[in-house]
Amino acid sequence: MKQQIKKLMNEFQRIIQPLFTRASFLSRLYFLLFDQAYAFEQQSILKSKIKYRDSNGIQKESSSLLRRNIHRLEKGLIMRPRRSIFALDYIGETLKIFELARNIEGFNEKELIWASAVLYEYFSVVDSSDKRLKKHILHYESLGISAASNTVPYKSVERAKHTVSYAELAQLVKARRSTRWYLDKVVPRKLIQDAVYIASEAPSACNRQAFRFICIDDESAISKVAKLPGGTAGFLDNIPCLMAVIGDHSAYLEFRDRHAIYIDSSLASMQFMLACETLGLSTCAINWPELKQLDKRITSALNLPQHERVIMFIAVGYSLPEGGIPYSSKKESVQLLTFLGGDK
């Protein structure tokens, strides 16, 4: 009977869905009446806005607001040609959040060093005679900032050099395949730390890096958590190490940025998995479904505040030599690529 009712409801929704696509308010009404798929996420985003305002854009030992504004200053410093005056709309806010962060015990020292150096560079190059900058210059001078590091924009030619060829990179990505069968062997935490370091070098929106990794390597905890995604059926008892990739909505104030945590976390996750491959570890990306009940369960299991969201899981371990690997034929580049413009 339950299956019959579900079938009838699905058929009813299939019939009425086109009606609710005729206007955006009708689409919102549809989800309000028939589908609560976005309810947990909407609540999460609203809570994150409150947290952002209450904490002045500071998340414990880091500040997404400071990181964003310092990165904006960096982009202004590298403009060609560089304007004599820029950042007037946010330099005051940047100085205030820097001063606030500097007075927080345990705030990340590396972040403060970077911010100090960029602020020093900014006030060294802007036109200090401009009256609009007067109050900001006085505030800056009261902070006693000195050029203590070289963590400022630099020329492209000065970038770190690499020795990885296209062929070597192609070989690496071919070698990294979703692996579901692992040896009964402990994954050293040092290797996880090394892989997360590589993940931290991934680009993110205004360098906010609003994500983190939770490493679950306790057998009972893995068993409890790994069964929730749904894509682990049949091999969850074989996972020696499970990584939860967590995005933090409270790093963003505007609703327009609600997808940034998914993009940034995904970029970092791919670098993490490639790093694992170079360390002799195999990985399997595990999709996290957007289901209200599962979101509640995983939030409880990982003791997460609601403004933090699980983006995905990653199984990590030493590959079982006899374990099977799906062939997973990939699309050709011509299927994935479109050129706009004339022939070149």
Q: What is the pLDDT of residues 23-56, one digit of tens each?
A: 999 999 998 888 888 888 899 999 999 999 999 9
Helices 260-278 and 166-175 sit at what angle, rounded to 10 degrees? 90
Of 11-20, 184-193, 213-222, 241-250, minimum mean pLDDT range: 11-20
- Do 40 and 295 meet the contact criterion of CB atoms below 8 Å apart? yes
Give the pLDDT band of residue 344 (cuts 50, 70, 90): confident
In 3D space, the residue among 173, 179, 180 whose CA is nearest the CA of residue 274 turns out to be 173
* Placement of tokens 């962060």 in the chain: 101
What are the domain boundaries of the chain? 2-35, 57-151, 166-317
- Please return the burial class of 263, using the count of CB atoms within 10 Å of its CB with bins 0-12, 13-18 and 19+: middle
Global pTM exceeds 0.85: yes
* Placement of tokens 């413009």 in the chain: 341
Distances, alpha carbon 263 to alpha carbons 46, 178, 209, 324, in Å: 20, 20, 11, 30
- Do 261 and 307 meet the contact criterion of CB atoms below 8 Å apart? no
- The average pLDDT across 224-233 equals 91
Whole-number average pLDDT of the chain: 94
pLDDT of residue 10: 84
pLDDT of residue 35: 84
Per residue in 75-128, pLDDT (tens digit) is 999 999 999 999 999 999 999 999 999 999 999 999 999 999 999 999 999 999
pLDDT of residue 328: 95
- The average pLDDT across 10-26 equals 90
Could you tell me which CATH class the domain 166-317 is placed in?
alpha beta
Q: Is the per-residue pLDDT at 287 higher than 90?
A: yes
